[in-house]
Structure 1
Amino acid sequence: MEELKHECGVAMIRLLKPLEYYQKKYGTWMYALNKLYLLMEKQHNRGQEGAGLACVKLQANPGEEYMFRERALGSGAITEIFGNIQNYFKEAPSDRLSDVNFAKCCLPFAGEVYMGHLRYSTTGKSGITYVHPFLRRNNWRAKNLALCGNFNMTNVDEIFTKITTIGQHPRKYSDTYIMLEQVGHRLDREVERLYRECEDEGLQGMEITHQIEEKIDLSNVLKTSTKEWDGGYVVCGITGSGEAFAVRDPWGIRPAFWYMDDEIAVLASERPVIQTAFNVPAESIKELKPGEAAIWNKAGKMRLTQINTPKNIKPCSFERIYFSRGSDIDIYKERKRLGEKLVDPILKTINYDIEHTVFSFIPNTAEVAFYGLLEGFDNYLNEQKVKRIEELGHKPNHDELEKILSMRIRSEKVAIKDIKLRTFIAEGNSRNDLAAHVYDITYGSLKPYEDNLVVIDDSIVRGTTLKQSIIGILDRLHPKKIIIVSSSPQVRYPDYYGIDMARMNEFIAFRAAIELLKEREMRDVIERAYNKAKEQVNVEKEKMVNYVKDIYAPFTDEEISEKMVELLTPKGTKAKVEIVYQHIEGLHEACPNHKGDWYFTGDYPTPGGVKLVNQAFIDYIEQVYQF
């Protein structure tokens, strides 16, 4: 319902055969380029603010370009960058375009190593200079570096201070540029170390270059450059000499999957995109483990290396609930289970009146959870049918059986996402009036003033769309009661690992808790939490405590949900409105292997997350209150 921006998607391809092989087998040396396009398009959901790709030619003579990059802004960036690349090829005579030797010699992006990126900004920084991949140039092939990633760092300030004190000067104050400088600096040191070794062995000239490119060890580079990173990340890189890598954070927050056969190696942020692009089964695709790196050397040989020791493993559950494509076999099952887990609380809310309840969902991401919800209610209804038949106490006649067996779960597509409204109208009232029409309704889909309407969504974070559009438009159907159901728990805390929710006042749950504290004359709870957060500002982040939890501690989930309803129900709404949330236990049962729940519980996997949530709370209080 509420579009959340997510920090990016990545795709990498490493050809393991000469270009001639793909020309002969697949009819084009552009095989990898075409597959990269598929991988990026299939991950379009992960980034629509920009896209970019980088390519390395393994065989290029001195004076010839060997590392290429193309970037673009906007939701059509993928089409634009691949269109620009094709424009380079249009200049070539048609009969030469299928000539592999000509392509390798004369055409840009005719390489063997590719890396693509899709960007969603969660920092507010925009423009082409912030679109990945980032490049670090050097006259030595092995020192050239292109970097991209799906990440967000929580300790940029600390790293920036550290690297500038040793004389480095990043071009921009952003996590990507700082990471580029860190990895690039260690890459330089590794090349220089090998150079000295080669000289000691008596090698000269190009012998040294070849030896460096054959012996360079990126695991050394990654171990020394990533050890202080605090955040969720999958960072990918390629060097000018053809080395390639992808490294995952030691908490396993952000995901990455890889596949390799005798022709190709590929890595992406999501498993089903590899399945689709290469028509391979799920079991042949492996997940990069927490703290692990996949590294390909210049010859294409791969090795998996543990770069950082796995820590408090907390894979992001929002990946399963919302961000990743539901076509993944495991995610599909998990989202259905999330729906099933909501049967009991919904039954209580509708007073077990199945006969007068219509079930629906908010398109489009809640659809799978909706199917799970229906299955759960079908199972419940079957149990009720058996009980009623047993309660008859005699051999039932046809009419009695028909009455019981005709009981059905009523489901309708009540809400339809009609258009994506543009925000060119700045005046408040007109803008809100337009927002009310983002969704349309199916008139006649329920009995006015008799039926309850249960509508499931995957998450309720800010509540803006509920207040401006959903509740008001559903009320036009004249239901007796509107029950908004979230397949995820209450989002109470900011995320600092790549999801666009970082300020306390954005969360309807937080606003509800603050209102309850004020109403019940408990402002002292706010003041104490603020003072405790303030007192630990200069404490080491590893020793910090999340004192924002104190704001929620006095209340049950149900009390906070009730206050949300008050805050979000538009004036003039005739139906009674209730909100039902998934419980944390239900989330963990549905997604047992993805326990990252800090946005729900406040249990951050890294010290940097704890530090930032306290600072966000301090900032909020100092803007709103005077203590």
Structure 2
Amino acid sequence: MICTEEMLAKDKMEEECGVFGVYCKENKEVSQMCYYAMYALQHRGQESAGITVSNGGQLYSYKGMGLTADVFTEETLNQLQGNAAIAHVRYSSFKDNKIENAQPIESRFKLGQIAVAHNGNLTNSKVIRELLEDGGATFTSTSDSEVVIKMIARKAADGLEEAIKATVSAVKGAYAFVMLADKKLIGIRDPYGIRPLCIGTNDAGDYFLASESCAIDAIGGHIVRDVEAGEMVIIDDNGIKSVKYAENRNIAPCSFEHIYFARPDSTIDGINVYQARVEAGKLLAKQCKVDADIVIGVPDSGVPAAIGYAEESGIPYAMGLIKNKYIARTFIKPVQSLREQAVMVKLNPLRIQLEGKRVVVVDDSLVRGTTSKILIEIIRRAGAKEVHFRSASPAVMHPCFYGVDIAHRKELIAARMSVEEIRQEINADTLDYLSLENMLTSLKSNNFCVGCFNGVYPMSTPTED
């Protein structure tokens, strides 16, 4: 049996979006910088890609459906000339995969042109949208970014900075915004710091904003710092201006960024993603010891934890599953019928490593439980004597309201079954999840959003509101 990448997607938290921004004092190849940064962030969204550039304050946009390489050509990039730009790769968490929702979203209002791209989810956007519509506003998309633009336009009389501050103070949820307006590049992170956003620069003095530091690395820059929770940064020819629009001591970045979403070569809020995953694997090995011959990781995000597990347990690490990396990641489609038509990406067992062995399989998480059984079956068919499954994150038992595509508890296997029932369901010899305490130990902080694990959220949920 062949396990496909489309099947794997159903067993994961669906990914989010990626944002990027660049500001130069003079016209440069900002669209090309965006292009390479979007490649680095492609794992965060594969449904659409877009770039907006600012040339003397005039904004020009190009966007389309599909991967970055499918949307942009050398010709289109050369037409996007300017000194500043923002870019976006999108995964639609609410099943609205259409060109109208591709970002950045651009508009013109009293203060001129504005373009906005965001990662995350506003939990009160529906209420705000209805209020704006009652006041005569019209919308062409279902994106939260358009809601934000309309709100900023309503406050334009107060000036751009005050209009943005008033807007982000009114919205609730998790978000990282990048904006172009008034010859400025603007970055905003939500008051809880749930969605990541960092600042970078290079030797030429250009400035960058990105969801992950790997995007800044990809264009030869280096990270300066993370945008703080509740902070707005305004970048122009005078440098960076920091505006603290919200004071909040209850900082709670998304723990799943480190578990699964982010690339392992990224550093978020001072925590290296790879090191955190390796440490999670070590702690997992200490929790529930087992006699085995090899440890294997589920490519790609389960591998660092498997390496840590092997190092701590003394059981040799081996490559046991081979993933075809040369087929585009087409599985993230919001409509099931499109998923079924997508090109299958093979994940095959390496029989020479598995045959006759007692195998520990480490994955980054076990969320919906739809593929673990298939993975274990193909490992057994490759000749494994025993299969012990380990999840390098706690059991996901509650929905996420902040930009992750888990909306109902019925989707979550741990909300319906005990650990022993799940073990029987996936046909593992043993099963263990990383404890919540050990996960926080691996992240070296208790200040994380763990609502999907324990149902305790950093802010009120839409249901509570």
Q: Please state which band the TM-score falls in when normalised by the shorter chain.
A: 0.7 to 0.9
Q: Given the superposition, is the C-alpha separation of residues 109 and 168 from structure 1 closer, same or farther in structure 2, using an over 3 Å criterion?
A: same
1:163 paired to 2:94: no
Higher helix share: 1
Residue 13 of structure 1, CA deviation: 0.6
Normalising by the residue count of structure 2, what TM-score does the alignment of the two structures yield? 0.88
2:191 to 237, 241, 250: 250
Cross-structure match for 1:67:
59
Matches within 5 A, 1:285-324: 285-297=224-236, 299-324=237-262
Cross-structure match for 1:152:
121
* Cα deviations by residue, 1:538-569 (Å, 9 ceiling, x for unpaired): xxxxxxxxxxxxxxxxxxxxxx1111123333
Query: What is the one-letter code of the residue matched to 2:350?
Result: T
Cross-structure match for 1:365:
301
In structure 1, distance between residues paired with 2:336 and 2:399: 29
Cross-structure match for 2:145:
176
Matches within 5 A, 1:40-439: 40-58=38-56, 66-75=58-67, 77-86=68-77, 89=78, 108-138=79-109, 142-186=111-155, 188-191=156-159, 218-239=160-181, 241-260=182-201, 263-280=205-222, 282=223, 285-297=224-236, 299-328=237-266, 330-347=272-289, 350=290, 353=291, 356-378=292-314, 409-418=315-324, 438-439=346-347
Q: Given the superposition, is the C-alpha separation of residues 427 and 176 from structure 1 closer, same or farther in structure 2, using an over 3 Å criterion?
A: closer
Q: Given the superposition, is the C-alpha separation of residues 497 and 78 from structure 1 closer, same or farther in structure 2, using an over 3 Å criterion?
A: farther
In structure 1, distance between residues paired with 2:152 and 2:227: 20
Residue 480 of structure 1, CA deviation: 3.5
In structure 1, distance between residues paired with 2:463 and 2:281: 31
Residue 6 of structure 1, CA deviation: 2.0
Higher strand share: 2
Q: Given the superposition, is the C-alpha separation of residues 137 and 181 from structure 1 closer, same or farther in structure 2, using an over 3 Å criterion?
A: same
In structure 2, distance between residues paired with 1:360 and 1:230: 41
In structure 1, distance between residues paired with 2:180 and 2:449: 30
The answer to whether the Cα contact below 8 Å between 1:222 and 1:307 also exists between their aligned partners in 2 is: no
In structure 1, distance between residues paired with 2:176 and 2:330: 33
Task: Select between 303-312 and 598-607 the one with higher mean Cα deviation.
Answer: 303-312
The answer to whether the Cα contact below 8 Å between 1:223 and 1:308 also exists between their aligned partners in 2 is: no
Residue 112 of structure 1, CA deviation: 1.0
Q: Equivalent residue of 2:15, what SS?
A: coil
Q: Equivalent residue of 1:566, what SS?
A: helix
Let me know the Cα RMSD of the aligned residues.
2.8
Q: Given the superposition, is the C-alpha separation of residues 172 and 442 from structure 1 closer, same or farther in structure 2, using an over 3 Å criterion?
A: closer
1:482 to 359, 383, 387: 387
In structure 2, distance between residues paired with 1:365 and 1:7: 15
Aligned residues: 443
In structure 2, distance between residues paired with 1:137 and 1:564: 53
1:511 paired to 2:416: yes
In structure 2, distance between residues paired with 1:264 and 1:359: 44
Higher relative contact order by CA 8 Å / sep ≥ 6: 1 or 2?
2
Cross-structure match for 2:16:
7
In structure 1, distance between residues paired with 2:457 and 2:308: 29
Q: Which runs of 5+ in 1 are unaligned?
A: 20-28, 60-65, 90-107, 192-217, 379-408, 513-559, 570-575, 613-627
In structure 1, distance between residues paired with 2:143 and 2:233: 25
In structure 1, distance between residues paired with 2:336 and 2:457: 39
Q: Which runs of 5+ in 2 are unaligned?
A: 1-7
Matches within 5 A, 1:451-600: 451-467=357-373, 469-512=374-417, 560-569=418-427, 577-593=429-445, 595-600=448-453
Identity of aligned residues (%): 24
In structure 1, distance between residues paired with 2:82 and 2:174: 30
Query: What is the one-letter code of the residue matched to 1:255?
Result: P
The answer to whether the Cα contact below 8 Å between 2:13 and 2:404 also exists between their aligned partners in 1 is: yes
Normalising by the residue count of structure 1, what TM-score does the alignment of the two structures yield? 0.66
Q: Equivalent residue of 1:117, what SS?
A: strand
In structure 2, distance between residues paired with 1:54 and 1:175: 17
In structure 2, distance between residues paired with 1:427 and 1:42: 27
Residue 220 of structure 1, CA deviation: 0.8
Residue 183 of structure 1, CA deviation: 2.0
The answer to whether the Cα contact below 8 Å between 2:65 and 2:98 also exists between their aligned partners in 1 is: yes
* Cα deviations by residue, 1:303-353 (Å, 9 ceiling, x for unpaired): 010012225211001001111110135111111100000112331xx2xx3
The answer to whether the Cα contact below 8 Å between 2:286 and 2:312 also exists between their aligned partners in 1 is: no
Residue 158 of structure 1, CA deviation: 2.3
Q: Given the superposition, is the C-alpha separation of residues 312 and 80 from structure 1 closer, same or farther in structure 2, using an over 3 Å criterion?
A: same
